[in-house]
Each structure stands twice: as C-alpha cells, then as structure tokens.
C-alpha cells in the first residue's frame, strides 16, 4: 500500500477469474472500495481509469442490492 498524505491508501486488488489487476484507493474513513465497471459511460467515469471487465470473468454475478 502507498500512503496518500494520510488521507487514504492506494494499492492493488485482483478481481474475477481470470484475475484482473485494478488500482484502488482505500478510504480510511469507510469500509468501501470502489472500482469502475466496463458498463460505466465515459461521461460518468474518468477515461484514464482502467475499468473492470466483468464480461471476461467466469465468476462475476450482479448484486441487485448494490448502488
């Protein structure tokens, strides 16, 4: 993990099968970690951020309770 001026930490998560390496920022004030999805439209997500390609994962399932 990399300390970002004591405001958060940046690190890597591995998601899916086969795995996809994603850079994430861990918010020290919450239990949440967010990753951009391939379904996110460019006007809502930063273009420079890599997006998780759920269509390539054999184990992905949608969480209907998620936001």
Closest of 48, 49, 56, 46 to residue 15, by C-alpha = 56
High-pLDDT (> 90) share of the chain, %: 16
pLDDT score recorded for residue 67: 57
Measured distance CA(27)–CA(19) in Å, rounded: 23
Tens of each residue's pLDDT in the chain, 67 residues? 888 888 778 888 898 899 999 888 787 788 877 778 888 876 778 777 788 899 999 988 888 887 5
**According to the 3-state scheme, what is the secondary structure of the chain?**
CEECCCCEEEEEEEECCCCEEEEEEEECCCCCCCCCECCCCCCCCCCCCCCECHHHCCCCCCCCCCC
Predicted local distance difference test score (pLDDT) of residue 17:
93
């Amino acid at each position: 993990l990399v300390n970002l001026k004591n405001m958060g930490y940046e690190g890597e998560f591995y998601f899916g099968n086969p795995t996809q390496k994603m850079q994430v920022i861990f918010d020290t004030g919450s239990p949440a970690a967010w990753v951009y999805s391939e379904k996110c439209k460019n006007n809502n997500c930063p273009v420079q951020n890599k997006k998780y390609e759920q269509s390539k994962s054999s184990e992905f399932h949608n969480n209907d309770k998620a936001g």
